[in-house]
């Protein structure tokens, strides 16, 4: 990496992560050592009443444990163009739940509680580019996106892409990544966090290298990206997506959750249903707004699986997308990949998605959000299939990438798993 703070390959990006890991420590502690967290009004909350809370939720006679964060988080990515190439300003983030301890995130990844400094820490670098007037920057995209509907209740993220006129030397733990570095990085597991992958999927892509935007490497992906959009297919999809009505729900005090028990270390299930526990961890880090804290994290019992199937039809690559309903989704229903199994849950993909009917085209292992989940991970996989689901199984839609990109850039339509796996399409060949 040169002295201006620009990384032109994934190997040069790796140097920044090594620096971010310096001084990083995380250890599990008893709940009694997290003195800023306690049960208030039946929910586990921070004393500031900010950040997030751990809540019991009841719907249709079923009680579950979900994280609640009514404030929309901010994920903001600054970009610029240099000699016709798109660069992105990435942040190396050491977080307690990350696989490997540190991964790259967007320029800003913060809740209002963080950038309003309820924790009493230092200001969030670059946040003014997204929440205040900056005459040197212009907004490229601004959408609201859904988060994990089986882990959060109604959580959303405001995803903003900003273009600045010229790159400036980055702060420590930040780096400018060229498009070539991004193409290499999306092939690596646990390297770009799921929020960064999500916002890269929303960003503008081009089927031409000279357009100054991210351009997929595969000719098949480029043809699908440039294919005509079919209004009838999207009309059927959106009609199906909005059929679902939200079930009634209410908060339940944690001590009244039938399947959950408070322990010395946090909360645990009596019988494995949701597949995770909530435990406390003490964290020390060198390059964040706060240098030491203790917090609860979701800790799942096994790895998850995300599969997106694709197949060429009349020379155009199409992707199998399913409308799903999840209790915590702000919209009740959303578009998901072909198959999703959350960490801690059981179940295998249907036979038409499994060998010998499917060929793995690309795969990486990714963490759920490192600030809320303790090394929870899923295998994200793109597969090429030679069969399609039978009519009795047909609950989804085959979409071209041009159609998917339009939906990705629409607020509150696609799940975070779909946004995450789509990022791999930048580098497949």
Centre a 10 Å sphere on the Cβ of residue 170 and count the other Cβ atoms it contains: 20
Residue, of 391 and 141, whose pLDDT is higher:
141
Region 120-130 average pLDDT? 84
Residue, of 42 and 351, whose pLDDT is higher:
42
* Domains along the chain with CATH numbers: 225-247+302-426 (3.90.79.40)
Distance CA 216, CA 186 (A): 11
C-alpha angle 262-266-272 in degrees, rounded to nearest 5 = 70
What average pLDDT does the structure give for the chain?
93
Considering only CA atoms, which of 133, 85, 135, 131 is closest in space to residue 107? 131
Task: Say how far residue 245 (Cα) sits from the centre of its chain.
Answer: 25
Considering only CA atoms, which of 166, 13, 139, 29 is closest in space to residue 77? 139
**181 sits in which H/E element:** helix 179-185
What b-and-e string marks burial along 360-394, b requiring 16 or more CB atoms within 10 Å of the CB? Answer: ebbbbebbbbbbbbbbbbbebbbbbbeebbeeeee
What is the pLDDT, as a whole number, of residue 1? 45
CB 201 within 8 A of CB 30: no
**120 has a pLDDT exceeding 70:** no
pTM, entire model: 0.95
Centre a 10 Å sphere on the Cβ of residue 323 and count the other Cβ atoms it contains: 19
Centre a 10 Å sphere on the Cβ of residue 82 and count the other Cβ atoms it contains: 14
What is the pLDDT, as a whole number, of residue 300? 98
Largest CA distance in the chain: 62
Residue, of 189 and 118, whose pLDDT is higher:
189
Q: Would you call the peptide bond into 356 cis, given omega within 30 degrees of 0 as the criterion? A: yes
CB 427 within 8 A of CB 362: yes
CB 204 within 8 A of CB 35: no
What is the pLDDT, as a whole number, of residue 285? 84
Kindly report, residue by residue over 142-201, the tens digit of the pLDDT: 999 999 999 999 999 999 999 999 899 999 899 999 999 999 999 999 999 999 999 999
Token output for 305: 């699986």
Distance CA 120, CA 149 (A): 30
Find the range with the poorest average confidence among 118-127, 278-287, 358-367.
118-127
What is the pLDDT, as a whole number, of residue 123? 82
Question: To which residue do tokens 């791999």 refer?
Answer: 424
Kindly report, residue by residue over 319-377, the tens digit of the pLDDT: 999 999 999 998 989 999 999 999 999 999 998 998 787 999 999 999 999 999 999 99
- Classified as helix, coil or strand, 423 is helix
CB 330 within 8 A of CB 146: yes
Kindly report, residue by residue over 74-111, the tens digit of the pLDDT: 999 999 999 999 999 999 999 999 999 999 999 999 88
What totals of helices (H) and strands (E) does the chain contain, helices first?
9, 26
């Amino acid at each position: 990496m040169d002295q201006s703070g620009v990384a032109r390959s994934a190997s040069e990006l790796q140097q920044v992560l090594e620096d971010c890991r310096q001084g990083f420590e995380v250890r599990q502690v008893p709940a009694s050592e997290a003195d800023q967290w306690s049960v208030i009004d039946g929910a586990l909350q921070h004393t500031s009443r900010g950040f997030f809370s751990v809540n019991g939720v009841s719907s249709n006679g079923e009680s579950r444990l979900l994280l609640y964060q009514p404030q929309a988080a901010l994920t903001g990515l600054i970009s610029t163009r240099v000699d016709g190439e798109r660069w992105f300003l990435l942040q190396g983030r050491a977080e307690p739940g990350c696989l490997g301890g540190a991964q790259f995130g967007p320029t800003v990844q913060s809740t209002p509680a963080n950038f309003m400094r309820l924790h009493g820490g230092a200001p969030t670098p670059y946040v003014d580019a997204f929440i205040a007037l900056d005459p040197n920057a212009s907004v490229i995209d601004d959408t609201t996106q859904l988060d994990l509907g089986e882990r959060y209740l109604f959580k959303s993220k405001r995803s903003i892409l900003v273009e600045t006129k010229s790159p400036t030397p980055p702060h420590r733990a930040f780096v400018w990544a060229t498009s070539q570095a991004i193409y290499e990085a999306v092939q690596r597991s646990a390297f770009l966090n799921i929020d960064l992958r999500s916002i890269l999927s929303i960003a503008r892509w081009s089927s031409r290298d000279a357009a100054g935007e991210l351009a997929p490497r595969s000719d098949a992906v480029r043809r699908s990206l440039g294919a005509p959009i079919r209004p009838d297919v999207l009309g059927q999809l959106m009609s199906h997506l909005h059929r679902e009505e939200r079930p009634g729900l209410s908060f339940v005090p944690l001590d009244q959750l039938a399947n959950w028990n408070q322990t010395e270390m946090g909360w645990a299930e009596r019988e494995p249903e949701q597949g995770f526990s909530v435990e406390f961890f003490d964290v020390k880090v060198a390059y964040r707004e706060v240098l030491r804290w203790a917090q609860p994290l979701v800790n799942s019992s096994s790895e998850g699986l995300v599969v997106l199937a694709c197949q060429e039809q009349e020379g155009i690559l199409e992707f199998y997308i399913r409308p799903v309903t999840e209790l915590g989704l702000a919209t009740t229903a959303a578009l998901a990949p072909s198959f999703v199994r959350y960490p801690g849950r059981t179940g295998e993909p249907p036979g038409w998605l499994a060998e010998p009917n499917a060929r793995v085209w690309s795969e990486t292992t990714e963490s759920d959000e490192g600030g809320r989940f303790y090394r929870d991970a899923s295998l994200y996989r793109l597969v090429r299939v030679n069969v399609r689901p039978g009519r009795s199984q047909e609950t989804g839609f085959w979409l071209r990438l041009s159609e998917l990109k339009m939906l990705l850039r629409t607020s509150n339509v696609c799940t975070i798993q779909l946004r995450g796996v789509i990022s791999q399409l930048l580098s497949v060949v």
